Amino acid sequence: MGSYDVFKEHGDFIKKSPVDQNGNFADTTISPDTRVRLKFVFIDSRGNIILEEWAGVDDIGIPASEYEEVTPIYAKIYDTGYDTATSINFRLCKNIDEITSLVSSGQFSLARADKDFDEPASRKERRDETRILNLRPIPQKKVFTELNVTMSWESSLTGEEEGKYYYLFNREKDFEITKRTAPRGRPLRVKTVTSQMLIGNHKLYYCHVARVDKRGRIRATSSTEFMVDTVPPLHGTVIVPKTTTDLSIPMIAGATGAIRLYISNINYGEGGKWEDWSQEKLWRLLDGSGIKKLYVMFKDVSGNTSKAFITTEIVDPGDPGDGDGLQSITINTDSNGTVALSGNSMIANGEDLIVTILPNQGYEPDKIRVDGREVSLSEDNRYKFINIQKDYVMDISFRPVPTTSFVINASAGICGSIFPAGQIKVNPDSNIIFTITPVAGYKIAGLEVDGKPAELTDGNSYVFTNISENHSIKAKFE
């Protein structure tokens, strides 16, 4: 496996990027104002580095020293350029049996035998040197019901010596961040990061962080575990009599994973209290005859909630009422939305009922089931029961609305530039770095992010991390 490290002309490590299986590589994220040097790195299947070479004169490799602390002057300097691409036909200097360099027009190729290589002991010692302290979730708790989890850490180092960081969230306990497994893109200087969307029912996740020094060497990985439970109680059901002559009625409730119960005659979360779980109980209705609504919520051990809605009818003792002529519609939803009905949920034989699905902001209907069978909604999120002749149970779940991309509007005043510039489309939960460069004789006078003054995050750069909305950034010069 091959990759290449990008370094500033006279400075430090910028980023690593992969070389594909055909030996091709391309990079369009480096500022056109930046002059760079390149170091190519070759890794075996276990993640061990087996060869490192700087690109030198005529794009021919020069062996890299594992002890070098500065960018060597013999490494070739490449201009990234504004209008034309820089083409590189890299060729290895070191020709050993396990690695062969194949060169064709505009590409670099690599073939390797199956022999295993051991990482030099001195390099292992450097990688085992841990500099990350107190890696922890914010806030600190045992179980997270949020879709995104924030992690923070400290470092025993300061200033330029501290370097930057790679981080990853996954479900692998013993994961190591190496040249082979490191995320694409540039390491970040920030020490607080937020995960992408994490979903699970009491699932263990891990956050892994590794320091990257100014020479691009990845130090030992620090990891911490945390529990994710974002799934509310499932299959919530409430059974009550269709009609009653008494204000106190028997109730039977059920929901997978629920440990507490909230019942109200008024609305969800109003006029009642959370109680320890009891499948059967006696419930008192509001005074007066007619249709009575019951709002029931279920809560699991992590605090996730789901809902159920049902009605009953109080009739006069001497009035037979509609009795068997009424049918019941029981509706269960999770905590990310509710419903509106075109009438009562106790319905006479042969009547229709329209159920309008009302997701909370940022959510949309996911799965809609009637008596366990998945059904479709109309374009306005409605479902219609027609000619009702029996009882029904309707289960409704919601999911976050997917976002395909966000836009960052980047601009600069006169006497300088920002890269990249214009309307930049980015993926959710991604990171992006903007580099601000004044022309000769000028300096950066200020930076505005989303219309408010902001500080540069790293030298002449600003980093957006874990992007979840549109942004704007504007640089000023003087």
Give the residue among 441, 446, 453, 435 at the shortest CA–CA distance from 413: 446
The confidence score (pLDDT) of residue 26 equals 72
Residue 85 has pLDDT above 80, yes or no: no
* The CATH fold of domain 234-400: Immunoglobulin-like (2.60.40)
Average pLDDT on 56-73 reads 73
The confidence score (pLDDT) of residue 325 equals 65
CA 185 to chain CA centroid, Å, is: 16
The tens digit of pLDDT for each residue in 177-219 reads 988 788 877 888 889 999 988 888 889 999 999 998 887 888 8
CA distances from residue 333 to 14, 306, 394, 452 in whole angstroms, order as listed: 49, 6, 9, 41
Point out which residues pair with 60 in neighbouring strands. Answer: 91
**From CA 384, how far away is CA 394, in angstroms rounded?**
12
Average pLDDT on 43-47 reads 68
The tens digit of pLDDT for each residue in 241-286 reads 888 888 889 988 888 889 999 999 999 999 999 999 988 889 999 9
Average pLDDT on 31-52 reads 75
Domains 122-229 and 234-400 are alike in CATH topology: yes
End-to-end CA distance of the chain: 46
The confidence score (pLDDT) of residue 428 equals 79
The tens digit of pLDDT for each residue in 144-174 reads 998 899 999 998 887 777 888 999 999 999 8
The mean-pLDDT minimum among 88-102, 184-198, 215-229, 439-453 falls in: 88-102
Structure tokens at 331: 């509706």
Q: Which CATH architecture has domain 122-229?
A: Sandwich (2.60)
What are the residue boundaries of the structural domains of the chain, listed by start? 2-118, 122-229, 234-400, 406-477
Residue 320 has pLDDT above 50, yes or no: no
Residue 394 sits at the vertex; the CA angle it makes with 388 and 400, to the nearest 5 degrees, is 140
Identify the residue with better confidence: 404 or 37: 37
Residue listed under structure tokens 């059967």: 280
Give the residue among 335, 340, 366, 372 at the shortest CA–CA distance from 353: 340
Q: Which helix (H) or strand (E) holds 126?
A: helix 121-127
Confidence of residue 16 (pLDDT cuts 50, 70, 90): confident
Average pLDDT on 116-128 reads 41
Contact 294, 319 (CB under 8 A): no
Per the prediction, the chain carries an average pLDDT of 81
Confidence of residue 82 (pLDDT cuts 50, 70, 90): low
Pairing status of strand 337-341 against strand 305-314: unpaired
The tens digit of pLDDT for each residue in 325-374 reads 678 888 999 888 888 887 666 777 778 889 999 998 888 899 999 998 88
CA distances from residue 357 to 331, 368, 398 in whole angstroms, order as listed: 11, 10, 10
Give the residue among 299, 252, 306 at the shortest CA–CA distance from 276: 299
Share of the chain above pLDDT 70, in %: 83
The confidence score (pLDDT) of residue 442 equals 85
> Hey, how many other C-beta atoms are within 10 angstroms of the C-beta on 73?
8
Identify the residue with better confidence: 305 or 127: 305
Q: Is 219 exposed, middle or buried (0-12, 13-18, 19+ CB in 10 A)?
A: buried
Residue 319 has pLDDT above 90, yes or no: no
Average pLDDT on 124-140 reads 71
Residue 54 has pLDDT above 90, yes or no: no
The mean-pLDDT minimum among 27-31, 75-79, 106-110, 332-336 falls in: 106-110
Average pLDDT on 128-140 reads 80
